[in-house]
Amino acid sequence: MSSGGPNGAVGDARLLRRTWRRLILWSGGITLAILVVLGAAIYLAVDRSLSDSIDQRLRDRAGQIADFIGRAPGQPASLGPQLQTGIVFGGPSSGTLALVIGPANESVGPQNSRYDGLPDMDAVAAARAGSIDVRQMAIEGTPIQLVSEPVVRSGQTYVIQVIADRTAEARALQLLLVVLIIGGVAALGLSIGGGAVYARRALVPIRDSLRRQREFAADASHELRTPLAVVRGSVEHLLRHPASTIADQHETLDDMKAETDHLTELVDALLLLARADSGTIELDRQPLDLADVTTTALEPLTGIAAETGVTLQLDARPTPAVGDALRIRQLVTILVDNAIRHSPPGGTVSVRTEPSGDRALVSVSDQGPGIRPEDLPRVFERFWRAPEAPSGGAGLGLSIARWIVERHGGTIEASSPAGGGARFEVSLPVQ
């Protein structure tokens, strides 16, 4: 548990800041990884699509020329005036440049290339090996894509080399890269900003939980300190009078027993709340009659009420409900015991059960001093006790009562009627 006081609050603040930074880093890191993977996939997909489109155009034109070479009559030299190579405008192979290289690496047909690096003889050599060669390169700073396809005619191998300028595609890829980078940076910034806001909001319940935990530890320490001090003082008193008999120290032993019982009750309540917070308590929900459960809960309290001069009145109408009989009996016990503690001698505590539509109601009213309006929002807080509250309680009973009601899907309300006293009304679901 966090320690109480300013040091504990400072430690909690540091822990929350570290957690906030880590959440932002994780959010930004995950977003960055997603953007990088997605951007790379988009870039590579577009690049592959453009390259495949150019490659198809080049292969189409190479295939046309290869068909022509295969059908051309006469000697190889006669191919020259018949080939229509050069740049093509329009059609599926538009924007391409075709070159034909003969068996002796001589150029065949009209050559319209203005680049000194064409034809590319490395590609020609690769094509003569018997496969279509596809490569991307740069000629005099111009990016091109080049397809070299071998054609065998009359036992001799010709190589058709078709080239396409990739300048437009390269610019499109550069523009896409810029858009991806700018968009990625913007998305990352928005993700970090949104993550910071979301993380801050997400940490609010954690901060409140740490605060409640710190207050709980401080309050529990305070409540435990008093009975422990009494027990310790009583033990020291007994040690100072070793010759005394039990009869002589009867009052001291009674004090020790009372404080031990108080400690036991307090520890049991703390353990119940701790288990409730961790969610390890399961309810045994069964159909029951709220009137029967309430009657059973009042039996052991009758003697306590009589000792303090308080009268218990029960108006138990048959009230079917669904819930854990043990926990509901504990709920009624807490509310009635609390009412007895706050009732003056000669007062009356009224308990009533009744059905109301799809709800089952149980109410407990007393004739005590009531609850101040400013205290109503705090009556169910742990360890909270009104300034005029009688001694003996730890301020945990009503917190446990609220937990029981909420676990059953019901509601509990506290009020101070105009006629005086306090009233607690519980509404539980019938089904």
E strand or H helix that includes residue 145: strand 142-153
Q: pLDDT grade, residue 204 (50/70/90)?
A: confident
Report the alpha-carbon distance of residue 97 to residue 101 in Å, rounded: 13
N-terminal to C-terminal alpha carbon distance within the chain: 38
Mean pLDDT of 213-224: 67
Which has more pLDDT, 341 or 261? 341
Mean pLDDT of 4-9: 58
* Residue 75: predicted pLDDT: 43
Which has more pLDDT, 95 or 200? 200
Question: What residues contact 313, with CB distance under 8 A and at least 6 apart?
Answer: 348, 349, 350, 351
39-53, 90-104, 153-167: segment of lowest average pLDDT: 90-104
Radius of gyration of the chain (CA): 45
Mean pLDDT of the chain: 81
- 3-state secondary structure at position 380: coil
Q: pLDDT grade, residue 165 (50/70/90)?
A: confident
Q: pLDDT grade, residue 126 (50/70/90)?
A: confident
E strand or H helix that includes residue 329: helix 325-342
E strand or H helix that includes residue 412: strand 411-415
Which CATH code for domain 286-429?
A: 3.30.565.10
Residue with tokens 């050599």, as numbered in its chain: 125
Q: Most confidently modeled of 12-26, 209-223, 294-308?
A: 294-308
Which has more pLDDT, 105 or 1? 105
- 41-62: burial string, b at 16+ Cβ within 10 Å, e else: eeeeebbeebbeebbebbbebb
- Condensed to tens digits (0 to 9), the pLDDT of residues 238-282 reads 888 888 887 878 788 887 887 787 777 777 777 777 777 666 778
* C-alpha distances in Å from residue 399, one per residue of 50, 284, 412: 69, 20, 11
DSSP assigned state of 90: S
- pTM of the entire predicted model: 0.51
Beta-bridge partners for 98: 86, 162
> What are the sequence ranges of the domains in the chain?
286-429
* Residue 291: predicted pLDDT: 92
Which has more pLDDT, 274 or 150? 150
Q: How is residue 189 written in tokens?
A: 């910034």
Strands of 359-365's sheet in order across: 311-316, 348-356, 359-365, 423-429, 411-415
Mean pLDDT of 324-349: 89
